[in-house]
Amino acid sequence: MDMPVKKKKLGLKEKYALMTRDLGWEPSYEKHEDVFPLINYEGLKIHDWEKWEDPFRLTMDSYWKYQSEKERKLYAIIDAYNQNNGHLNVTDARYINAMKVFLSAVPSLEYNAHRGFARLGRHMAGVGPQVACQMQAIDELRHAQTQIHALSNYNRFYNGFHDWKHMNDRLWYLSVPKSFFEDACTSGPFEFIIAISFSFEYVLTNLVFVPFVSGAAYNGDMGTMTFGFSAQSDEARHMTLGLEVIKFMLEQDPANLPIVQKWIDKWTWRGVRLLTIVAMMMDYMLPKRVMSWKEAWEIYFEENGMSLFKDLARYGVKVPDCVEQIKKEKNHISHQAWTTFYAAAPMTNFHTWVPSDEELDWLSEKYPETFDQYYRPRFEFFREQAEKGERFVNPNLPQLCQVCQIPMLFTEPDEPTQTAYRQSEHKGEKYHFCSDHCQHIFDDEPEKYVEAWLPVHQIMQGNCFAEGADPTSPDFNPIASVLDWWHIENGRDNGDFAGSEDEKNFAQWRGMATSNN
Amino acid sequence: MSVRSIRPFEPVVKDAAENFHGMQVVYLCWDKHLMFYAPIAKMLPPTLTFGQLIDAEITPAYSRHPDFAKIDWSAVQWSKDGEAFTPALDKSLRENGITHKTAIHFNTPGLNGINGSGF
């Protein structure tokens, strides 16, 4: 009689090896470089792919189990939030404008991160990185989905959310995050992973998902808080992966150091420029503030981020030069960004306002070195003009930086009253930049950035008018036509919060929820 | 080598002068007046005179600022792509050496924004 043999249960390590390393066969009838055509052209030297360890050794079966449980909890909270009209519990309807910015910009970033990591899962030549990248590709796709679902809680009630994907491709300020990711996705696989696993995860999402999402919680937005913290538990894994990747590249060959350093320098700066808008959201768009942008920056970058560089110092990695400039700019960028959006109000998909006296005092307290001297007078002027019925609007289109695509609103690091501008020439054409660091990025790869789709120039070239519009007709209104092409309804989706439909509806609905009237 | 690509790559210069229908892009910046948050971009005919640039473009762009009416135009300091220059008012942009994507900055001595705050 045969005895049934009890199958031996595999240990985690064994299981991971079986579920991954068996995929790593050497091709016999195709050349290795034909199977993996993208791994040499960036100039990195990799001698032993086996040395790349996935720090988490997560296998697909445990991934699905773990994530589906997390997702069930997330959707339970989002549904409850939705059914209880949670949007009426936020501190103040001005807050919802921060969500408009977030949800117009971020799901597309997550989706592109998914695309990028799916590509890497195919093109990295080692099994460890292939599996880790595939896993991250799924994470990013889930993040895009949960954010889109969170968005649906708002877009039924408030203006400006109705066509976020369309706007992401077209609206001037959204070209900033979009071009960041297009720059990464058109890089080779190693630069991509530095751009995203290092810059996007360490520098960016850390500051978005921790202090900003705490701000969401503080302002009563449980839906955003829940997806933010759910995403953050994946981000911690992504950050660890990013660090492993950098170490792997540096350990493989000493010749890799200058290449890796150049990418770290570039993407630290690219990430920081993108954070300008988060700075503005934290200092101006959260009615109840958790901490100032400056404080968040000091904790999450100057302290946490710098410990990462200490860890990398033994490989010869230096702190990027741009960090000096960033230290100076932390006192300025949120104010410069908000005054820009205030003055550009007709061109946005959200509302703006002049901070209240109490808010101005909070800003003075948080920014004692700069606010009263440089920024309070701006808001006092804006308020005075608005009270006279002459709300200030800048009637002009701005010059944009060729690399980060942000209007050239930044000032010289040591002279906050002087616009910073840099210029390079390439093949007889002039190019303009907001900073030394954007200029260096261009000068290193000018052929890449001459292709930048700068919204202001595209408008001028006539590529951004509504379908069927006739720019030669006598009553053609170019601004109205561009707003139409963006799908922005003038006077409803943009302009002042005071007097907006959003303000009116929120007050009325909250009144109905809290009283008998 | 500045191009890193897996196959030959011919970049398309998105903002080449010929894409602007005979016009050219000119950037203008009134230094120390950040009310307008960034230098501005204008699409202008190269035959426009510098005098017309001031009257028809700079004036409507910046007249909202309380300093604007106080500008002494004979004292204004101009720069072109970072180099000081003296424009000839009756000459065209092209004759003044202002080509596609030239950045013109101007400084108005004594006028440095509201309460001298650069705004």
Residues A166-191: pLDDT tens digits? Answer: 999 999 999 999 999 999 999 999 99
pLDDT band at A444 (very low <50, low <70, confident <90, very high): very high
Average pLDDT, chain A: 91
Q: What is the three-state SS of A191-237?
A: HHHHHHHHHHHHHHHHHHHHHHHHHHHHCCCHHHHHHHHHHHHHHHH
Interface test with B, best of A399, A411, A418, A424 (most B CBs within 10 A): A399
Q: Which residue of B has its CA nearest to A37?
A: B6
Whether residue B37 and residue A343 make contact (CB cut-off 8 A), yes or no, is yes
Instruction: Please tell me the distance in Å from A455's CA to the nearest CA on chain B.
Output: 11
The count of residues in chain A is 517
Query: With a CB-CB cutoff of 8 Å, which residues 40-79 of chain B face chain A?
Result: 40-43, 60-61, 64
Verify whether the Cβ–Cβ distance A429 to B13 is below 8 Å.
yes
Distance CA(A360)–CA(A335), nearest Å, equals: 11
* Of residues B11, B81, B103, nearest to A450 (C-beta): B11
- To the nearest 10 degrees (0 to 180), the angle between helices A257-274 and A322-329 is 20
Could you give the CA distance from residue A447 to residue A455 in angstroms, rounded to a whole number?
Answer: 19
The helix/strand count (H/E) of chain B reads as 2, 5
Concatenated DSSP letters of A338-396 = HHHHHHTGGGSSS-B-PPPHHHHHHHHHH-TTTIIIIIHHHHHHHHHHHHTT------S
pLDDT at B83: 96
For residue A517, pLDDT over 70 is answered with no
Mean pLDDT of A145-160: 90
Nearest CA-CA distance, residue A393 and chain B, Å:
9
Of residues A226, A225, A238, the one with CA closest to residue A70 = A226
pLDDT at residue A8, rounded to an integer: 74
Whether residues A461 and B21 touch (CB distance < 8 A) is answered with yes
pLDDT band at A107 (very low <50, low <70, confident <90, very high): very high
Q: Considering only residues 6 to 45 of chain B, which have any Cβ-Cβ distance to chain A shorter than 8 Å?
A: 6, 9, 11-16, 19-21, 23, 25, 27, 29, 31-32, 34-43
- As for the ipTM of the complex, it is 0.97
pTM here is: 0.94
Q: Is the Cβ pair B36, A453 closer than 8 Å?
A: no
Does residue A71 register a pLDDT over 70?
Answer: yes
Tokens of A156: 């039924």
CA–CA distance, A421 with A68 (Å, rounded to integer): 49
Quick one: angle between helices A357-366 and A376-387, nearest 10?
170
